[in-house]
Structure formats: structure tokens, C-alpha cells
Structure 1
Amino acid sequence: MLRSLTPDLSPWRASRDFRYLWTSGCVTSFGGFLTLVAVPMQIKELTGSSFAVGLIGAVELVPLIVFGLWGGALADALDRRKLVLRAEVALGLLAGLLLVNALLPHPLLWPIYLVAALVAAADGIQRPALDSLLPRLVPHQHLTAAFALRSLYHNAASVAGPALAGVVVAFAGVQTAYALDVLSFALSLLLLVRIKAVPPPTGAERPSVRAVLTGVRYAWSRKDLLGTYAIDVCAMLFAYPVAVFPFLASELGADWALGPMYAASALGALLVGATSGWTSRVHRHGRLLVAAAVGWGAAMALAGLTEHIGLVLLGLALAGGADEISGLARSTMWNQSIPDELRGRMAGVELLSYSVGPQLGQVRAGTMAGLVGVRAAVWAGGAACVVAVLAVAAALPKLLAYDDRTDPHAAAVRAEHERAAREAAPTT
């Protein structure tokens, strides 16, 4: 019973490279939050304009989409470790440019936007390689546990990172935040260079528009995978009300609760990650995904229907926990059943699905709040999420039928893992 409620550490014990990758991600997650808080704060100080702050999201979106898809093709054609390293160097240099600009007697505004766009492009190239690298470092049977451990540090950083960043920026300035982020990239590189080479599969397709389209066609042909993308977009589009949190806090007479509202979902996800041992024994990941997405929408509806701030925070925490389960189910399905030669491009498609959804959700929440009120925008969005998820599940029965013990795609990937392990084993 205790083992089922604690994280499964099998990937940590089984793979030295996973330990390096996990520690690197932990370092850069906390460093990234320093810059995430420092950039809007610096723009606010330079302009005093909320529009100027919001423009950061606009300059990031297109590079993230374009380079995310291209990065997926690169990840399938090149050594994924080298691609991650090169992107990490680029991200570190860009953090350095923010530091140099902040140290000027009169910091400039335009370099901040330029760096934000370039960071989105570098992140779009790195993330597919990073996501598709993990299944090459961890035994097939430990994939769910590996994603749970990775989400553990991400959620811990989501809870503690903004608070730490706020203290650093307030007492030491944005220059210190940028300097610490540069340091985090340096430490990360020292860890990543120790990971073994991960060459592309034999006969890998060269990166091209045609290669990108091959990945998109494969995603369309797999209706179970298509269901995971569709449900993620539905969940974020209808039930991602972060944009209206300041207005919801004011309407409830609890301006003090704005910070806890931002942290509540991450805290719920962190608690699920810390008790995620049971997820390694799940086989019907499609059903788990649907149930978790319904839970996400229902919890958001609870947060919008209640007038008690404690119940609002509870609803947001429950939503975060459900989203964590949903993410584990999606990640496991993707990496259990996608062939290695397509995994990078599928990671690019995944990046597209979980980047666009929250952006559209922000627009939906803000627009609907102006039409029907803040609380209605939250609870109605949650209810719409439940309906949309159930409709997708009904329209794509292969999603509910997915079982990693019998799915032919998962069986083929498992056989390839076993073959690669036999070839890598030392001979006597």
C-alpha cells in the first residue's frame, strides 16, 4: 500500500543517464521561473503598460509553433543529445543577452521582445528532442514512472519557483534573476554532456517539410493518439481560466488569494506526482486520460460555482491533480506506442497541441468573462470541458480501447526496446 502511494524510483535506479537528465531539468526549471517572472516585471518598469507585458505571449506563439514542428523533424534525423545540448547553449546565451541589457544604464525594450521570440524558437527545437530522448534512456516498462518523476520537479518548481523569483526580483533586481538563470544553464550543461550519445535510427528521414507532413499524417492515422491531442485541446480551451484569476479574486473579496490561486493547481499536481506509484500499474491509459480530463473540467466548474475562497482553491487543486494524471496518461501512451523514427515529430505535434490550447483558453476565458461574468466563465467552461471530452471519447472509441498489453503499436515498440537492450548487453 505504501509503495503504491510513493513515487516509483525504478527509472532513477535503472538509468544513470536518466539521473543526469532529471537533475538537469530540475536545475533549469527553477532558473527558468526566475526569468519568467523577471521579464514581465522589467517590461512593466520600462513601459507601465499591461498591453506591453501581454505582448510577450504574442511574440512567442508563432516561433514556438513553427520551430516546434521543425524541431520534431530534426529530433528524428539527428543525435537527440547533441540537439538538446546545442539548444541549451543557445538558451543560456539568450539569458545572457537579457542580463547584458538589464545591466545597461538605460535598458532597451526591443531586445527583450527579440530574445523572447528567439527563446521560443530554441525551446521549440529543444523540447521535441528532449521529450523523445527520454524513452531512449529508460527501459520501456519504466516510462510511466519516469514521466511521473519528471513532472515531480516541474510541479515543485511551479509552486516554489514564482515565490523564489518574486523575492529575488524584489530584493536583488532583475539583473540578479537573469544572472542566476545563466548559472542554471551552465550547471545544466555540465550534466547533459555526461549523457551518452543518442544517434538517430538507421535510415532516418532527413528534416524537410515532407518529413513534417509524414509525422502529421501518422498522427491522423492513429485515432487513439488523435484522441489524446483533441482531449488536451478541449480541456485547455474550455477550462483554463488563469487569465481571469485576478478578477475572480476581486469578485470574491479575496485579493490576498491571487497568489495561492496561481499555485493551487501546481500544488495539486505535485501531490499526485508525489503519490504516483500506482500509475505504473495502469494499462488502460485512454480510459485514465478521459476520466482525468472529466475530473479537470468538473473541478474547474466547482471553482466557478462556489463563493467560498477555500472551495475555490480546493477546486483548483483538484483540477491540478486531475491534469497531472491526464498528462501522465498522455505521455505514457505517446512513448509506449510511437516508433522511435517518428517520436521526435510526434513530440512536435504534441508541443503544438499543448501550447495552442492554453493560449486559446486565455482568450476564451477573458472574452466570456466580459459577456457573462467572471464566475460564469469559469464554471461554464468547466462544464463545457466535461461535455467536449465525453464527445471526443464517444467519437474516437479506439482511445478508450487502448491497452498497452494488447495494443499492436505498443507491442512493436516494446519488441524494439527489447531487441536494442539485447544488442547493447555485453557478451561473454
Structure 2
Amino acid sequence: MASFMIDRRPLAVPAFRRMWVASLVSAVGGSFSAVAVPVQLYASTGSSATIGAAAVVSFVALAVAALGTGAIADTHDRRRVLLAAQSGLAVVHLALWAQAALGGAPLPVLLLLVAGQGLTMGATSATSGAVLPRLVPAELLPAANSLNSLVRYLGWILGPTVAGLLIPLAGLSTLYLCDALALFVVLAAVHRLPPLPPGPAAATTQGVVRQVLAGFRYLAGHRLLVAVLTVDLAAMVFGMPSALFPELAHRVFGESSIGLLYAAYPAGVVLAGLGSSSFTRARRHGVLMAGAAIAWGVTIVAFSLTSRLWVALAVLVAGGAVNFVLSTFRNAISQAYTDDVMRGRIQGALTVVLFGGPQLGSLLHGAIGALIGPRLTIGLGGLLTVGTVLVVLRAAPEVRRYAVAVPGETDVASPRARPEARARPEIQAGPEA
């Protein structure tokens, strides 16, 4: 039974434990604005197009901030960078609370606040990904990433649900205030982190733009990292059919199925997270990542072929579970393999892929689905996912060979395993952390 429970080993590291407990609070109480902002935009304009425009504004701001802050995190104390990013996000939520409490702001002001939210969220995500390998040993990165992902997905499920119940009872301003208060809990945890200064190899004299370009050159020069990004992007762009769920509910499964279709994928994610001990102790990270991506493509093909709701829900639950495995090892590989001096920039690129991939996938599925139908579009997307992963495995055999050593072993299956993939990080699991 123990092998199918949550892998809690990273919680023995005090610094990680404090950050994770704070994320439990912010996952639900800090995600209300994801519902409150669209509701306010629609109420003030009466147009769904405004919500779409706000999403574009948010993503552009997030992408710029993730890349730029990733470079800054590589040349400055990451604790201070993360503290500044989280503080900025709290200020944005306080501003959202103030304008809602005063009766609402004009549309340009709301869009400006949405841009500020995207900027600070991009900065926070990129920096957090670079901080994690400094908090836990490399052999615990899969478990640490799975714990973080479990909390994030629980927040995505519970946060909007609770927000929808609170809006008619407490109003939008209360939701924004809850977000801000939850972030102060995170700020307290970040403040207690020890200093995380850059290494001696950090190029502190370069401008941010030159540092970002150096990060892209570093990424292009390391085939394993390019392969990891390609596999992840293929899974999200080709194999994420949620934009077609409304049409499938209307034409195939019945109108009442729409909520179940959207809930099945995150349910699978949560189930995999609750059983993370069954895979986070594995050494063959590359094989598991690629295998999970192929399995995800297969589930999407199966989803496209069925007209029975219970089968569709079962394969979506299975797809959510294997995608959780994919994301866990994607993060672990990119964090352990990347030189610490470049981790912020690589995590910034991953942040752009993480948030931009599903949006691009929805755009493609919607456009192609209108031409050839939803089920054929979804099936082709699943096949493209599988095909892309197979091409990557052939072009980058490093993915198949990549593994990490368990403590005490001297061999690592990866032909180019980095020292930090075997050594303990700068911060140990003692009480001083």
C-alpha cells in the first residue's frame, strides 16, 4: 500500500515544507481572481471578446516577465527575486480589491491590472522553478514537483468552485482580498528562505536582453533540453482537446456531460498525485517522461473513437494521470540537467510553454475542428502527439538514456549527467534551512 501513497520525502526539508504548506493556502484562497476577473470584465462590458483580449494581454505580459525574470534570477539572489515577484502579485490583488470595493474601474485600468497580474505570475513561476533545485536533492526533485503539481491542480479545481459560490454571497472585492491575504502567507514562507545567491560563473555584467539570448543559445546547444520542451509542447498543442468539449457534448455525449468532460482530466491528475510514490522513486526519468507522453497520445486517440460517455471519461481520467507523470519528470529533468547558472532562463522558457501551449492547442483544435469535425481533429492530434514523441526519441537518444543515480551509486545512465544530478544541493535538510 505504501508504494501507492503520496511521496512525502521532500517535506523532510524544512524550507520546502514551509513553501509547500504556504502553497496549500494560496492554491485555493489565492486563485479566486481566475474567476473574479472574467466575471468583472463581462459584467462591465457585456462582451466575451473582452475576456479573450484580457487573456492575450495576460499571456504576453507573462511571457515577457518569465523570460526576463528568469535571466535576473540567474544573476541575483533568487530569494530576493522571488520575494519581489510575490510582493508584486500581492500588490496587484490589493489593487483589484480596491477598485472592486470602490465600484469598479474603467476597462483600460482593468486591462492594466490584468497585465500586472500576468507579469508577476510569470516572474513568480520562472523563479520558483529555479529555486526548487536549491532546496531539495536531485533524487527528490520528482517527488517535490509532484507535490507542487498536486497542490496546483487541487487549487484549479477547488478555487473556481469556491469562488463561484462566494461571488453572490460576498462579492468580487472579497475574492480579490482573499487572494491578496493568501499571498501574504506565501510571502512569509519566502522571507524565511536562506539567501540563494548566484554562483561565481553568473554573468552579472550583461544586460537582461543579452542574458535572455544567452539562455536561448544554451537551450539550443543542449539536445536533451530541446527534446524535453518538444515532447511537452507536442502533448499540450496536439493532444489537449478541451476546446472541443462543448461541441462533443452537444453532438455526441449529451448536453449534461459537459461538466464531467472538463472534470475527468483533473480528476486523473489528482489520482496520480495521490499515488506519486509509485513512480517518483524511479531512475529512468527520460523513459518515463516519453512513455507518459506516448500514453497521453494513445488515450486521446481512444477518446476520439468512442461515443460512450463512460469510456470517454475513463480515458480522460487515464490521460490526466499519465500527463501528471509527464509534467513531473519534465520538470525534474530540466531542473537537474540544467547548469544552475542557467536554471532561471530555462524555467522561464518552460513557463512560456506551460501557459502558451494549451492556448495554442485550443486555437488549433477550434480552427481545424470547424473544418473536419471534432472527433477526427482529436484523433489526428493524438496521433501527432505519439508520432512527435517517437521522432524525438530517435533524434535525441539522450532522452532514453537519461537517468539519475540514487545516493551511494557511482554510475548514472545519462551520458552527460551533471554534477548537481548526483550531489546534494546547496541547502541541506537540517533545521537551519
- Tell whether the 8 Å contact from 2:401 to 2:413 is kept in structure 1 after alignment: no
Question: Residue type matched to 1:178 in 2?
Answer: Y
CA-CA distance at 1:325 after TM superposition: 0.4
Q: Which residue of 2 aligns with 1:177?
A: 175
TM-score (norm 2): 0.92
CA-CA distance at 1:297 after TM superposition: 1.4
Counterpart of 1:145 (choices 139, 143, 146) is: 143
Question: Residue type matched to 1:201 in 2?
Answer: G
Over 3 Å counting, the alpha-carbon distance change for 1:262 and 1:398 in structure 2 is: same
Q: Which residue of 1 aligns with 2:240?
A: 240
Identity %: 32
- Tell whether the 8 Å contact from 1:158 to 1:263 is kept in structure 2 after alignment: no
Residue by residue over 1:305-324, the C-alpha shift from the partner in whole angstroms, topping out at 9 and shown as x without a partner, is 22222222222211111110
Question: Residue type matched to 2:413 in 1?
Answer: T
CA-CA distance at 1:134 after TM superposition: 0.9
Q: Which residue of 1 aligns with 2:320?
A: 320
Question: Residue type matched to 1:150 in 2?
Answer: N
Q: Which residue of 1 aligns with 2:128?
A: 130
- Tell whether the 8 Å contact from 1:152 to 1:273 is kept in structure 2 after alignment: yes
Q: Show the 5 A alignment for 1:4-403.
A: 4-13=3-12, 15-206=13-204, 207-403=207-403
Over 3 Å counting, the alpha-carbon distance change for 1:11 and 1:209 in structure 2 is: same
CA-CA distance at 1:411 after TM superposition: 4.1
- Tell whether the 8 Å contact from 2:41 to 2:51 is kept in structure 1 after alignment: yes
SS at 2:280's partner residue?
Answer: helix
Please give the root-mean-square deviation of Cα atoms over the aligned residues, in Å.
Answer: 2.0
Residue by residue over 1:345-395, the C-alpha shift from the partner in whole angstroms, topping out at 9 and shown as x without a partner, is 111121122232212101111101110122222222222212222222222
Question: Residue type matched to 1:396 in 2?
Answer: A
SS at 2:424's partner residue?
Answer: helix
* Distance in 1 (alpha carbons) for counterparts of 2:260 and 2:168: 19
- Tell whether the 8 Å contact from 1:338 to 1:410 is kept in structure 2 after alignment: no
TM-score (norm 1): 0.93
Q: Which consecutive unaligned segments of at least 5 residues does structure 1 have? A: none
- Tell whether the 8 Å contact from 2:402 to 2:415 is kept in structure 1 after alignment: no
Over 3 Å counting, the alpha-carbon distance change for 1:217 and 1:416 in structure 2 is: farther
CA-CA distance at 1:253 after TM superposition: 5.0
Q: Which residue of 1 aligns with 2:409?
A: none
Q: Which residue of 1 aligns with 2:419?
A: 412
- Tell whether the 8 Å contact from 1:78 to 1:200 is kept in structure 2 after alignment: yes
* Distance in 1 (alpha carbons) for counterparts of 2:222 and 2:303: 35
CA-CA distance at 1:36 after TM superposition: 0.3
CA-CA distance at 1:409 after TM superposition: 4.3
* Distance in 2 (alpha carbons) for counterparts of 1:39 and 1:396: 42
- Tell whether the 8 Å contact from 1:73 to 1:208 is kept in structure 2 after alignment: yes
* Distance in 2 (alpha carbons) for counterparts of 1:179 and 1:109: 20
* Distance in 1 (alpha carbons) for counterparts of 2:422 and 2:325: 27
- Tell whether the 8 Å contact from 1:24 to 1:192 is kept in structure 2 after alignment: no
Question: Residue type matched to 1:204 in 2?
Answer: A
Higher helix share: 1
SS at 1:280's partner residue?
Answer: coil
Equivalent pairs counted in the alignment come to: 422
Q: Which consecutive unaligned segments of at least 5 residues does structure 2 have? A: 405-411
Residue by residue over 1:66-115, the C-alpha shift from the partner in whole angstroms, topping out at 9 and shown as x without a partner, is 22111111111111111111111110111111112212335422222111
Over 3 Å counting, the alpha-carbon distance change for 1:94 and 1:410 in structure 2 is: same
CA-CA distance at 1:416 after TM superposition: 5.2
